[in-house]
Structure 1
């Protein structure tokens, strides 16, 4: 999504499209996929580096997350591998876009952290679904930075409070349609902080695969088109390193096939 509407990335340019949808989330809610963009008329083309990119799903119906879902993270933290996913909902008002500045809520936290994650956008309703039906119900994937105040989580016991500060869920900078993803177990995820590589893993290291995670959520709550599910983060977070975010820091998250997601921290 750009400031001018929906667009399609074409090499080093963005083809702005003639479409009635305000954002990709609205398109997916209405049609279940990004397919309609393939035949949309191109209104204009703008250089990618001159285009303002926004969160592709700025107002998800629901925003799900999982607490511990990478073997590397469990090993680094010295924790047992869970037999049930630790699930939570965060406030959709926490969503921000690529390049946005996110305020460090210093009055609440001294442990603001980053979490590079694969975000899944649901395209078809999942209600008590089987794993075999879960991946085909995905419309697209994108990058997420599931920012977390670790001390707020310890103090309150509520992930939703630790993760719902304004801007704490950056999404973007583009969507990759599911049919262009090699598979749910073949998605790379990486992060950099202050230009230093921090996380480097793939979805193959997940404790609960993406299809299993979606199926498990659907046993308890219906997943609908436009919902966003964050799928966990690998080892290398600030919590693992004892090095939390500070004003002036830049976090860069990369998911295979998706434009980089950059977030700046301000005082």
Structure 2
């Protein structure tokens, strides 16, 4: 696999090259479509460059479009378990999130008025499946991963308490920003220690690495694959470390700005909208139909 960092833009799919985006001559509407069709990002390294645009100020789309499946896991960092005083789970706490919750980078998300007063952020490492995984051994996982990106697995904590349903608490429109770029695994110096950091209004709130996970990436995806087949383009959110608003008893407010960094992935920035609206834009491509 060739090392590459890619984005989806209003101009098309592109590779990040220093301060520019090399927009590629490719038929794919977004990065997710590339992975679904080919199982990796390799084809993009052989695509001719159509034009170059500055990275600064570029309008980025949700890089994976609307994934068919978005898996999540609760309580998967030892730091989070220690902060809450809970014991380590013996099996992953899994759920499926609504793909309609996916939001583009640099977009705004609304607080669902009348439904939650405890909207929270969760900085996470997101894994994008490249090759079908079914009953896979842990050692089969990394060779089957097409890319890694950042995610903000937002949660309405009060909805979680009242419904006991993670899917409902995490599936409001815009509650799952993903991006801003997708990197191949070769972009990461150490896959056992992938860093994840979250800032809220320029204050560092979360900082950990994948070494702090209870169920490692290979273990987690292997366990899921023994019950459900993971298909190319599916996304697995791998849990969040300590430092969420829940841990501080402080929740998101209009105007808050969340910034999540996962290794070399472009920062994922989301702003809580100052005034409510029903459907925050995913800025997905018009041809993004699955």
- TM-score tier, shorter chain, comes to over 0.9
Unaligned stretches of 5+ residues in structure 1: none
Structure having the larger proportion of residues in helix:
1
For residues 42-78 of structure 1, what are the alpha-carbon distances to aligned partners after superposition, in whole Å with 9 as ceiling and x for unaligned? 1111111131111111211100000110000000011
* Corresponding residue of 1:144: 151
For residues 3-60 of structure 1, what are the alpha-carbon distances to aligned partners after superposition, in whole Å with 9 as ceiling and x for unaligned? 1110000000111000011111110011111011111111111111131111111211
Among 120, 123, 126, the residue aligned to 1:119: 126
Among 209, 218, 221, the residue aligned to 2:216: 209
Q: Secondary structure at the match of 1:251?
A: strand
Does the 8 Å contact 1:184/1:211 carry over to 2? no
Q: CA deviation at 1:160?
A: 0.5
Change (3 A) 1:158 1:67: same
2:164 matches 1:153: no
* Corresponding residue of 2:33: 26
* Equivalent residue runs for 1:63-212 within 5 Å: 63-212=70-219
* Corresponding residue of 2:43: 36
Does the 8 Å contact 1:149/1:163 carry over to 2? yes
- Equivalent residue pairs, number: 267
Q: CA deviation at 1:180?
A: 2.2
Q: Secondary structure at the match of 1:104?
A: coil
Q: Secondary structure at the match of 1:28?
A: helix
* C-alpha separation in 2, matches of 1:50 and 1:164: 28
* Corresponding residue of 2:272: 265
* Corresponding residue of 2:259: 252
Q: Secondary structure at the match of 2:12?
A: coil
For residues 228-249 of structure 1, what are the alpha-carbon distances to aligned partners after superposition, in whole Å with 9 as ceiling and x for unaligned? 0000000000000011000000
Does the 8 Å contact 1:95/1:166 carry over to 2? yes
Between 1:179-188 and 1:153-162, the stretch displaced more is: 179-188
* Corresponding residue of 1:223: 230
Q: CA RMSD in A?
A: 0.7
* C-alpha separation in 2, matches of 1:125 and 1:76: 36
Q: What is the TM-score with the length of structure 1 in the denominator?
A: 0.99
Q: Secondary structure at the match of 1:6?
A: strand
